[in-house]
Amino acid sequence: MVATNQSTIMDFSIVTGNGFIGNAQRALHETGSFYGVYNSGFTFDNYSYNLSFKYRSNASLYLSDDGTGDLGITTVGPNKGDAKLVISAVIDGSYLYGLNLGFNCDTYTGFETTSISNITVPESHPTVVNFTIGTNLYYETGMEIFMYTLGASFIGTVISYNIGNGDMSVNSSWNAGSGSHSSWNGFYESGAWFEVSEVNLFKL
């Protein structure tokens, strides 16, 4: 299988291990890229299918039809452990005739977490900002988080994140607005990646 780039800013690399049999290809979405597609090489026809694949990802991964839209069949959440096997529900190929099967993963993955920490918006950069977000999320050192509240926002690069209690430290790089606020939404800002391999399409 060959990964193909349907986004203007997207990198691919080969990875091994991590629960995959043989090699997998990692698709990395850089800042400014909305989505990219890992095309499996399979083409739908007028039959029904089940799909299985293994994946790792630090953001939500979903099936797509040639990158033009979400098939609404299988959406899986982040998985940074060993590759996880996914078996889809039945796919109706009758309305997908001629389309390739692909995988999408958004750079800006949408709403991810909240924080009720009293945070003062950093107005000079870099400034270390400490706050608490949700637990068991998938932030790594060097990733960016976009923090938003009504009338203010800032971007920070993760210094540390405690997956058990949600404590996070970031170095700020940008802000809008000012003041102290205690109701925040947090979003992934960049650096989304996914790895897919062992894709099998079974005609029913």
Residue 94 belongs to a domain with what CATH number?
2.60.120.260
Residue with tokens 């203007």: 8
Taking the CA atoms of 19, 66, 94 and 42 in sequence, report the sign of the dihedral they define: negative
Give the residue numbers spanning the domain of 170.
111-188
93 occurs within a structural domain: yes
Question: Could you give the CA distance from residue 168 to residue 147 in angstroms, rounded to a whole number?
Answer: 12
> What's the whole-number average pLDDT of the chain?
75
- Domain co-membership, 104 together with 166: no
Residue 64 pLDDT: 64
Pair of tokens at residue 198: 């062992």
Same domain, 24 and 64: yes
The helix (H) or strand (E) run that includes residue 85 is strand 79-87
**pLDDT grade, residue 46 (50/70/90)?**
confident
Q: Are residues 46 and 18 in the same domain?
A: yes
- pLDDT bucket at 13, cuts 50 / 70 / 90: low
Residue 78: the pLDDT is 78
Of the pLDDT bands very low, low, confident and very high (cuts 50, 70, 90), residue 104 is low
Domain for residue 134, yes or no?
Answer: yes
Whether residue 2 is contained in a domain is answered as: no
Please indicate whether residue 176 or residue 122 has the higher confidence score (pLDDT): 122
State how many domains the chain has: 2
User: Same domain, yes or no, for 95 and 196?
Assistant: yes
Please compute the mean of the pLDDT values over residues 69-85 and round it to a whole number: 72
Q: Is the domain of 122 the same as that of 95?
A: no
Domain identity same for 175 and 134: yes
- Does residue 5 sit within a domain? no
Any domain includes 164 = yes
Q: Domain check: are 74 and 118 in the same one? A: no
Per-residue pLDDT tens digits for 131-161: 999 888 878 888 888 888 888 888 889 999 9
20 & 84 share domain: yes
Q: Which residues are registered as beta bridge partners of 56? A: 195
Same domain, 16 and 100: yes
Query: Is-contact 56 18, C-beta < 8 A?
Result: yes
Over residues 181-194, mean pLDDT: 76
Are the CB atoms for 93 and 71 separated by under 8 Å? no
CA 155 to each of CA 71, 76, 101, 158: distance values in angstroms, whole numbers, following the listed order: 32, 26, 34, 10
Q: Once rounded to an integer, what is the mean pLDDT over residues 15-28?
A: 76
Q: Which residues 6+ apart lie within 8 Å of 7 measured at CB?
A: 29, 33, 34, 35, 36, 37
Please state, in angstroms and as integers, the Cα–Cα distance from residue 194 to each residue in 65, 95, 100, 130, following that order. 17, 27, 18, 28
- Tell me, yes or no, whether 19 and 102 share the same domain: yes
34 and 98 inside one domain? yes
Give 112 or 164, the one with higher predicted confidence. 164
- What kind and span of H or E run contains 42? strand 37-43
